[in-house]
Amino acid sequence: MRLPFLLPFLALALGQTLYLPLDDRPPNLAPCAWGLVLCPPREAYGGPEGADVGRLRAWLLATPGQRLVASLDVLAYGGLLQSRHLALSPEDALARLGPLLSWRVRYGGEVHLFGVIPRWDATFRERNLQVLKALSPWAELRGVYLEAVWDDAVRGSPAPREALALPYPSRPGADEAGQVLLLRALRPGLRVAVVYETPALARQVTPYEGLPLEETVARLLQSAAALPVALEEGPDLVLYLYGGRNPRQAALDLLRLMARHRVALADLFRVNRGDPGLMAYLQGLGLYGRLFAYAAWGTPANNLGSALAQGGLFLEDGEGRLSRLAEAYFGYWWGEVGRPWVRARFSEPLPEGAKEVAALWPRLVLEGRRVLLEGVVFPWKRAFEAWPDWGFVPVPGEKVLE
């Protein structure tokens, strides 16, 4: 008798996209606040102590949806940090991943999965690689996409070579992987034109990647199910890659591109920091607020993935685009100003006094709204990561986005 009343609810639930982040550091957890996905309870993630795997598993099996984007490492080990050093047999790790296929069978939704090829200093590298190899048959299953990303491949790292032994896609990066697979799940087929600051940048092997940049980009587009096109073909999004050669010329390039295209900017000049010279031009020329995405918070692969994913996901959402730009500017400011200031004054775990750094926030206006930083949250009580507690207020006399 009650079934007809449940049908609308079931239809809504089955249309959901579930997202299981790698851990609760900002780049991984941020999409949970974007209004696009349903995430596990925040309390299931325990910071540097790792996630409650049992609670995540129970949430997953009880939650229907049309799509699932999930980290293998959080279900198998409790997160990225734990994947490096948690003593666990390959058999037990694989058993913990079983609910992913159970969810697929139970609800019939698409499944998009990523696992991490561990960095050089991980205690249980061989165990993790064994698990990734054992998952190879999953890549052949209907409705399942599986890829491996490699974490911090310094010079001489075996990760790029190990990735070749896997019969499914792989690429550099880790903390942006969830965002990229959300783009794949929610907006496949995005038509992207890639523009390099200089032709030489395409052939450069960027830090922590172990590949020429053009190959990293090609693999990223494959991960996102994006289609590479030329500028003349009218792309949905232009991904501009800045390598630090000439910030003035890059700003002129962006000005010219923005006249005809929607542009996402990935600043690859430095690791975990943007280029203040380029940012000065972006602000001075009024270009920053016109971008469709910006990223400078991590490694080159991190920034590429974030800029592409956020640009594509919020292509038709003006409010979402501005919010992502505010978050991205915080990431730039944190690397350039906030993190150095905190590290110079406080030891870790950080005390409450470290939050005083918010007073250094500059004036930032986006589309007639000033971005106010009301506070800073340190999710792992260390200076490397920080969450902004911010809000918009209208600026008198300036046009606000309709």
Third-level CATH fold of 187-316: Rossmann fold (3.40.50)
pLDDT of residue 152: 84
CA dihedral 205, 314, 379, 65 (to 10 degrees): -110
Tell me whether domains 13-185 and 187-316 share a fold: yes
pLDDT digits (tens, 9 = 90+) for 369-385: 999 999 999 999 999 99
Judged against a pLDDT cut of 60, whether residue 169 lies above it is answered with yes
Contact between residue 324 and residue 311 where contact means Cβ atoms under 8 Å apart? no
Give the domain ranges of the chain. Answer: 13-185, 187-316, 332-394
pLDDT of residue 8: 38
Contact partners, residue 46, CB within 8 Å, separation at least 6: 24, 52, 78
Residue with token string 């009301």:
374
**CB-count exposure of residue 161 (10 Å: 0-12, 13-18, 19+):** exposed
Amino acid identity, position 118: P
pLDDT of residue 151: 87
pLDDT of residue 167: 96
CA max distance for the chain? 69
| DSSP assignment letter at 377 | E
Third-level CATH fold of 13-185: Rossmann fold (3.40.50)
Closest CA to 40 of 50, 51, 48: 51
Q: Using CA atoms, how far apart are residues 213 and 216, in angstroms rounded to an integer?
A: 5
pLDDT digits (tens, 9 = 90+) for 278-324: 999 999 999 999 999 999 999 999 999 999 999 999 999 999 999 99
Give SS3 for 186. helix
Contact between residue 330 and residue 358 where contact means Cβ atoms under 8 Å apart? no
Pairing of strands 191-196, 263-267: unpaired
E strands, 17-109, are 17-20, 67-71
